[in-house]
Amino acid sequence: MTRTFVDLNEIERARAAIAATVRMTAVNVSPSLSDLSGVPVHLKLEHTQLTGSFKLRGATNAVLSLSDAEKRRGVVGVSTGNHGRGLAYAAKAAGVKCIICMSRLVPQAKIDGIKAQGAEVRIVGSSQDEAQGEVDRLVSEEGMTMIPPFDHRKIIAGQGTLGLELIEQVPGVATVLVPLSGGGLISGVAAALRARRLAVRIVGISMERGAAMHACLQAGKPVFVEELATLADSLGGGIGLENQLTFAMTRDLVDDVILVSEAEIAAAIRHVYWQERQIIEGSGAVGVAALLAQRVESAGPIVTILSGGNIDMQQHHRIISGEDVDVTQEAA
């Protein structure tokens, strides 16, 4: 039986639950991007969230929903970086043991960030799907509770709180650009926006290399997509062949998907640093990349979500200095 989509009531309950822990992030107008686009462009500064990305919202909501017995057994999750950091933070705040399983493609800076929150990190295989195998073992053999990065009602509802903030901060928004990976963020944001403002256009932005949700939408069903090295590393990983929620929600609630190149992502990281004075990672830069490439048309105000800032600072320095950083070669 197909489960119903996450709704506005769930998102509003999540907002109340996480209010004491999660920061309401600011929105800035970008003069440079507004001039380029011909309409006001607003940047949702979610990279300034406590753990450096939106993932804290869903992770906190999920951890707070656990029973006492589940908390005693601990939580486990698979992550490309930011979910792990958010889950580690939420688990530590609740006094819950946490193990994060990751592939070797995850940058060391993100591994270090998770360890700094007190979680154990296990590196397994070369993809998120392979790391999931260790998660499954910990659930079956040790009784831990899996909190997945996106395909989970509490996670989606938590991410949807960002959508509620957007409506309040930019009430006339016409187009929202949302980084797209497994679909947890865009599903939650879209559910909130559709419930409150039906006319808004919602566009998912992903990278050309290994854009799993885009490939699944093209196929009409969840399919396996090879995980590839990319500057937008937090957008890597598959959506799961048994996906229950985010594939259908993205398919039904999102208007369009735009893919951006590695060079365009790098240009966006540079632009946001030099023009906006913000440090963001590749996954958080994809909306700006689409705007700079002038592939977004909107009749009214645009909001693009700067979803994360957990970039390796040496890599960031190379990019903003104008170096051609080719992670496809460096990962080989």
Q: Please, what CATH class does the domain formed by 56-146 belong to? A: alpha beta
Q: 197: pLDDT confidence band, cut at 50, 70 and 90?
A: confident
Give pLDDT, residue 94.
95
Q: What percent of the chain has pLDDT over 90?
A: 88
Give me the amino acid identity at 254. V
Strand partners, 146: 76
- pTM over cut 0.85: yes
pLDDT 10s digits, 99-149? 999 998 888 888 999 999 999 999 999 887 889 999 999 999 999 999 999
CATH class belonging to 8-53+152-330 = alpha beta
Q: Which long-range contacts (CB under 8 A, 24 or more apart) does 135-142 make?
A: 135/76, 135/77, 135/78, 135/101, 138/76, 138/99, 138/101, 139/76, 142/73, 142/74
CA distance 148 to 97: 16
Could you read off the pLDDT of 205-219 as tens digits, one per residue? 999 999 999 999 999
Longest dimension (CA), the chain: 57
pLDDT at 43 over 50: yes
> Where do the structural domains in the chain lie, given as residue ranges?
8-53+152-330, 56-146
Is the distance from CB of 7 to CB of 188 less than 8 angstroms? no
Name residue, tokens 């992770």: 59
Predicted confidence at residue 332, as pLDDT, reads 52
Per-residue pLDDT at 139: 97
* Residue-wise pLDDT tens digits, 266-304: 999 999 999 999 999 999 999 999 999 999 999 999 999
DSSP string, 12-28: HHHHHHHTTTS----EE
pLDDT (tens digit per residue) in 218-270 = 999 999 999 899 999 999 889 999 999 999 999 999 999 999 999 999 999 99
Helix, strand or coil, per DSSP, at residue 125: coil
Chain centre to alpha carbon of residue 311? 14
Helix, strand, coil share (%) of the chain residues, nearest 5? 50, 15, 40
